[in-house]
Each structure stands twice: as structure tokens, then as C-alpha cells.
Chain A
Amino acid sequence: MKFDPFIIPFNIGLYFIIIYVVARSVIWFHDLSRPDKLRLQRGFFGIPFALSLKEIFMESLIHRKILKTNLRLGYMHMSLAFGWFLLIFFGTIEADIFGTKHLNAPYKAIFFRFFNPEHGRIGFEATYGFLMDLILAFILSGLLLAVIKRFYSRVVGMKKTTRLKITDRIALTSLWLIFPSRLLAESFTCGAHGTGSFLTGSLGAWLASFLPAQQIAYPFWWLYSISLGTFFILLPISRYMHIPTELFLIFMRNSGIKTGDKAGTYSEVQTYSCSSCGICIDACQLNFSAGITNIQSAYLMKAIRNNDDVSEIVDNCLMCGRCDQKCPVGIELSPIRMIQRRGGEAENDIRNIYNGYFRSRQINIPEKVISSSNYSFLQESDPQKADILYFAGCMTHLTPAIKNSMIKILEASGVKYNFIDEQGGVCCGRPLMLAGQDKEARELINYNSQMIWKSGAHTLVTSCPICYKVFKESYYLDVEVLHHTQFIKKLIDEGSVKMNFLRKKVVYHSPCDLGRGSGVYDEPTEVLNHVSRLEKSDFEDENSLCCGGSLANMKISSQKRKKIALDAATELTKNNPDILATACPLCKKTFAAVTETRVADISEIVAEALIEKPIKINSGSHANSIKELANI
């Protein structure tokens, strides 16, 4: 038998999806900026290519990262992806070796059993049949988990599973139907001919014992073909588009393309690479502490894909970056959210099927109408010359203990410094950026930059991670920017300050903008280890919690903020530490309101442990006045 009409749905689906993916890739490549095109070309003919292949194997097929996070969920994804890949791979080989001729059309491999029902009775053929059955059993075990997960997500260790839209549901159903219908179709055919291995063979023999196997098999082959065809045709407008897109994403990422500030091909590819696996939902504190379950990154990606109004979703996020760290696909979720914040409200496109398949190529979100400058009241300042600038930041002015401790440490170290915003400075600009108002932020950045430049300093120390992040990333300064924990670490290493060892149990809370945001994990813990007994917590480094006070979330109510803070503080103080240490004034303020444990910034603990030596007289008169202030 060479041909049968039941293969038509499959063939239509397959050729459609191949042509579609090629067309889409061409459009994406075409829309890349010129440097990114070059990057991608260079990446394609070099080491990044090998890295990408390895990553595709490890992540897209084996799903290593999901396995690491959650074994059962990982197994589910692996069995479906890797299993299906193996089934196609070995199926093609099987059709090639045992088929009538070499280089067959794809349907010959997929429906091999239908066209070769007598195949696999003895010897090598039977062994090969066993392998194919094993792979099918592997997929079916994963499918069983997937079906259970949809109804009882806790079985696979997930608290929440993603809510789906209608096309996703149809695609999901057709995906679920593919493998059982293959199993039944093969079993009936095998049962009728007395062939097949342990799975299809035994099931087929049993079914054939009381059913007319030969007649029933044919409808199941149709079902198998139709489910495959439906799945392929719905793929571009459902979340399963991530299957082809993820490959593209991996190549782009390994070629060194970055998300940037504006929407473009890369952010679109990332949006389509989200498989809605729901790991970000479980990681989100707004979900498990505050009970807000519709704004997580998976939903944001889905809303962007569907051209929905995202204004409610984008602003309701702490930007703590926990989902970024957990995302198994490695989508840069926070930068994509920032792009959406920067944009004005997108005009709602007319949503029809065609737009689902081919998005309008005006992917750029309309720019916000920015009102003219309003910070003209800021007068040019003339700061004193100094080597080291100390910028406390707005939040630190609300927690004077941190400010005073830093002054004490700076005095003790004997460096020539200038407390640049002693009388209250200008905001660093990050809060405006987080609200999507970059142009206004730029005004403040220019003002601060000029002040820093005029002072002629080589180092800028700040107490606030929010300021630290923006000084590092968005200021173009010729100074070394240090968070005060890094600065203290440096002082300790140089031997400029000496301190006692405090016999206190300390647990460290890593602030979002310092840890995940800027990658400063080691210095704070090293300093704490130097002066106190640092205890481990369940939420360290990349996995650390957000205090809930984040300036990034404009929408959340103060009650929910409190709930997040309370949950986080309870987790951190589980082992009754003497001090809950943090490195951020905002975290300190948020935690102090909800816990009995003493909350202190690292600078406070260091200042407490400091051995005050006879202070070297500073040359400037300014320093003396600071000293007086510190003694008050």
C-alpha cells in the first residue's frame, strides 16, 4: 500500500507548519536591526552554533532546568518533547531501513505501522519494534501526568497551573489525542495481524480477542492523522508556537543579542518562546502571598501575544526578578515588562484569525506623549571636591540609622569623602524609570551626573540598591560605583577599619535590586561573616524573597504589601535569629514594620562592631562638621 486518504489532514498540517515557520523566521530575521543581523550571522558560523545545539538538546528536549526545579514536572515535559523527538527520529530510521525504499515522505514514517502491518515479527525487526513501543510508552506516561496536572496541579508539584484560552484548549486536546490514538491505531492493526511488541502487541491481541480489530483500526488512523493536522494548524496561534520559536531564541541568545529598551524581533521571539509552563506563577510572591493570580509573566506573555490590553498586568509587579531566575526558557521577563511600561497604551488591533497568524509588523508600541521638562526648579550645585562621594539616596534619608552608621564607618576609615546629598538630594531616577517615564528620569540623571562629575570623585558609594542599579546601568559616569556593602568589604580587605566580632545570629535578606538586579551576592555575606554569625536561610541568593516594599509596583494595596512582607519575614526569621540583616533601606523599613526581630542594615551591624581608633584628622573642614553630626 502506498497511499491512503487518511494521511491528508496530517500532510496539510505538516506542510502548512513548515512553510509558516520558514516565513515567520524570514520576517523575524528581516526585522532585526543591522548589528543584530550581523551578530546572528556570526553566531551561526562559529562556536555559538555548537553551544546552541547543545542547549537545544539539553533544554528543548531534555528540559534540564525544569528537571532541576521540579522532577515530576520536568519528566512530564521531557517525556513529551524528547519522547516525541525520539519517536520521529527512530520512526524515520525504521521507515528508511524496513520500508520499501529509502528517503520516504514523512507520512511513511509516522504511519509506518499502517503501511507495514506485517512488520516486526522476528529478529532485528522485533527488537526495533520493542524500542518504538518503549518510546511510545515513555510519551504516554508523560501524557498521563499532563492530564492529571491539568486537573490536580499539585500532583506534579505545582501549586497553580496556567489558565488557557480557547485556541490553546483545542490545541491541547489535539495534542493529548495524538498519542493515545496512535497507540490504539497501532494496537488494532497489530492485533489484526498478530504483530507488535510488548505494548501495541499485547494490547492489540487483547482487543482483537473481542473486537473486529481490522475494521476499528481504520477510524483510529484517521483520528491520529486529524489530531496531528489540527495541532500543526493551531500551533502558530496557541502557546505551542514555543516549540519552533525556542530554537530561534536559543540561536539568537547565544549570538549575543540583547533585549534592549524597545520592542523588536528579539522581544517578540521571547514572547512566543513562553510555553506557559507556569513555573513563574509558582515563583511569584504576588501569587503565593498576596493572592494576585492574573499578572504573572506567563499571563503577560500571553496577553502580548494576543494583543490584549496589558495596562493592568504590567504595572502590578514588584519587578523582583524571581521569575527571570526561574524561567526554564531563560526569557528576559522583566526587561520585556519594562518595554511595555515605557510604551503608552497600545491601540487595540482588530483581532481576527489572520492577525493571530501574522501579527501586524508595527510591533513598536506607540511612544508616550511626554510633557515638557518640569524639573527646571533644580539649581546647579557646586559640590566640594572629594575622592569618594557618598550618596545616601531618598530611602536612606528615611532610615537615619543607616546614614549615621555609614558616616561613622567613613570617618573611621579616614578617607576623604563628601556626603553629597546630606541636605537631601535629587532622586536617582530609577523610580521614574520603573514607572516607564524614561525621559523625565533622564533629566534627573543629567542633574546628578553633572554634580558627580563636578566633584571630581573616583568612587561613588551609595546605600540604596535602587540607586546602585541605576548608577551602574543608566548613568554614563567615569567613576566606580559601589554599594556600601562592597565599599565596606573593600575597607576590611585593605585593613582600613578594624572591628570586633559580634556574638549574634544573623540571617541575611538579599535585596532584589542588589542581588538578582545587580548580581551582588558575595560582598554582603562576606562582610556579615566577618562580623557576626551568619546563618543560612531557605531563600538565598537567586532564590531570595522580595520584601514587598518594591517601588516597581504601583498598583498593589498597602495591605497586600504588608502580607508579602510578613510572609517573607516569617520565612527568614524561622530559626529565631538575633538580627534580620539586609542591605537596603527600603527592605529595612518594610520588614521593621512586620517583625519582632531586630531588622538592621549591614552598615549598622558593621558600625556596631567597629573599633574606633584615633581618627586621622581630615584635611577638609567639611569632614569635621560631619564628625560632629555623627556624634549627635
Chain B
Amino acid sequence: MDKFGFTISAGRQIDYDSNNRRLAEYIFEKEPSFRLCIECGGCSATCTTANFTGFSLRELHILIKRGENDQVRQNLNKCMLCGKCTLVCPRGVNTRNIVVLAKNAFQKSDEYEI
């Protein structure tokens, strides 16, 4: 078949049926302030890591909540845990603990299948 130079972009819909929300629920349980996030992006704006590479804590928060964990897993360890995001957060979300909890969850993931 001839190639016309067009591609079909991957599906962009969020399929909650196939997504795994266990990580989000685990974090909601351990760090209730996660619910307070309004996704303002203050954390991403001040982020030390974001200064060097494409890393956005806001994006990770959204992905965790959607249950798209693979992308979270790939990017999470870029965080340096410096804590600036927690300081700038207007909603008092304990962002640093969310990162630590997610990291721990991925470490345990072999056992718990998060």
C-alpha cells in the first residue's frame, strides 16, 4: 500500500475502565491533601528539576489521578525532593509526600500490582 505521509495519532481518550486507579487511591488514603490540588501548576513552575528537563509535577498529579501509571513510573524518579513545590502550593498539598508515596508504591508494585 502506498504511504501518503500521513499518520494516525494514538487515541487520546481517557479510558477509566482500563486504567489502574489503585495508585491514586493508595495516595488518597495516605495523603488526603492530594484531593485539595486544583492543578494550578505552581509546583511545576518552581520545580528545580523542571529547570533541566521536561518534568511536571502537575502533569504527574493528573496522570496519577487518571490512573495512567506507566508515564508516572518513567518520570517520577527525576524528582529531587527539594520541597519547593510544597512551599509554593497555595492549597497546602503535601506534594513531597505524594512523590515519596508514589515512589514507595512502585517499589512495592511487584507484590501489590499497582
Separation of A554 and B94 alpha carbons in the complex (Å): 8
Of B80, B92, B97, the contact of A554 (CB 8 Å cutoff): B97
Q: Is the CB of B107 within 8 A of A368?
A: yes
Q: Which chain B positions have C-beta within 8 A of A481?
A: none
Separation of A353 and B81 alpha carbons in the complex (Å): 41
Of A377, A429, A557, the contact of B53 (CB 8 Å cutoff): A377
Q: Is the CB of A371 within 8 A of B97?
A: no
Q: Is the CB of A559 within 8 A of B81?
A: no
Q: Is the CB of B52 within 8 A of A398?
A: no
Give how many A residues have a beta carbon under 8 Å from the other chain's beta carbons: 35
Residue of A nearest to B107 (CB): A369
Q: Is the CB of B78 within 8 A of A374?
A: yes
Interface status of A437 (Cβ within 8 A of chain B): yes
Kindly identify, within residues 18 to 70 of chain B, every residue whose CB is under 8 Å from any CB belonging to chain A: 33, 46, 48, 51-53
Q: Is the CB of B83 within 8 A of A432?
A: no
Q: Which chain A positions have C-beta within 8 A of B106?
A: 371
Q: Is the CB of B46 within 8 A of A398?
A: yes
Q: Which chain A positions have C-beta within 8 A of B88?
A: 398
A440 CB, nearest partner CB in chain B, Å:
7
Interface status of B82 (Cβ within 8 A of chain A): yes
Give how many B residues have a beta carbon under 8 Å from the other chain's beta carbons: 26
Residue of B nearest to A379 (CB): B52
Q: A431-B80, A435-B81, A440-B77 are in contact. Are A558 and B107 (CB under 8 A)?
A: no
Q: Is the CB of A555 within 8 A of B77?
A: no
Interface status of A212 (Cβ within 8 A of chain B): no
Give the interface SS of chain A, mostly helix, strand, loop or mixed. loop
Q: Which chain B positions have C-beta within 8 A of A379?
A: 52
Q: Which chain B positions have C-beta within 8 A of A427?
A: 48, 80-82
Q: A369-B107, A554-B96, A559-B92 are in contact. Are A444 and B78 (CB under 8 A)?
A: no
Q: Which chain B positions have C-beta within 8 A of A398?
A: 46, 84, 87-88
Besides A424-B51, A432-B80, A559-B92, 18 other CB < 8 A contacts?
Answer: A375-B80, A379-B52, A395-B83, A397-B84, A423-B51, A425-B48, A426-B52, A427-B82, A429-B80, A431-B83, A431-B96, A440-B77, A551-B82, A554-B94, A554-B100, A555-B97, A557-B33, A558-B93
Measured CB to CB, the residues of A under 8 A from B are 344, 368-369, 371, 374-375, 377-379, 394-395, 397-398, 423-427, 429, 431-432, 435, 437, 440, 444, 549, 551, 554-559, 586, 589
Show 27 residue pairs from A and B whose CB-CB distance is below 8 angstroms, ordered by the A residue: A344-B107, A371-B77, A371-B103, A371-B106, A374-B77, A374-B78, A377-B53, A394-B48, A395-B83, A398-B88, A425-B48, A426-B52, A426-B80, A427-B81, A429-B80, A431-B81, A435-B81, A444-B80, A551-B81, A551-B82, A551-B96, A554-B100, A557-B33, A558-B33, A558-B86, A559-B92, A589-B87
Q: Which 8 A-B pairs have the closest CB atoms?
A: A558-B92, A374-B77, A377-B53, A427-B80, A427-B82, A394-B82, A424-B51, A431-B81
